[in-house]
Amino acid sequence: MGDCIFCKIANHEIPAEVLYEDDQVLAFRDLNPQAPVHFLVIPKIHIESVNALDDETFPVVQAVFKAVQILAKELNFADAGYRVVTNCGVDGGQTVGHLHYHVLAGRNLTWPPG
């Protein structure tokens, strides 16, 4: 998608602090961190949100969680615990229309979220 900021990050057209990359997904630190560790995992292909996943694209969710698991171990927060969340649509608080999973760690995360 031409004007999608996360597509541009996935294509390395604009800079980001990349933590992990494979053929399907990219993980990079969030611009506006809400925890000591806060990064996003995105599919490289443009998918608007969970609503837009289909039989062809569902496997990318598996790739996302594989990246989460790898980084949780690499960055040493797997045992302490963490949160993975994807915001969907207006009520979900989604501000970027490219599917992304927030990974938050490094502090005790409260529940419920706001």
Q: Which residues bind ligand DGP (CB under 6 A)?
A: 5, 16, 28-32, 40, 87, 93-96
98 has catalytic annotation: no
Nearer residue to ligand DGP within complex by CB, 38 or 72: 38
Looking at the Cβ atoms of 33 and 79, the one nearer to ligand DGP is 33
CB of 78 to ligand DGP, least distance (A): 22
Considering 12, 46, 98, 100, which one is annotated as catalytic? 100
Q: How many CB atoms lie within 10 A of CB 21?
A: 14
Shortest Å distance, C-beta 18 to ligand DGP: 10
Sign of the dihedral through C-alpha 38, 8, 43, 94: positive
Distance from C-alpha of 112 to C-alpha of 73, rounded to nearest angstrom: 26
Rounded to an integer, what distance in angstroms lies between the CA atom of residue 102 and that of residue 87? 8
What is the nearest approach in angstroms of ligand DGP to the Cβ of residue 79?
Answer: 25
Q: From CA 54, how far away is CA 16, in angstroms rounded?
A: 28
By annotation, the residues acting in catalysis are 100
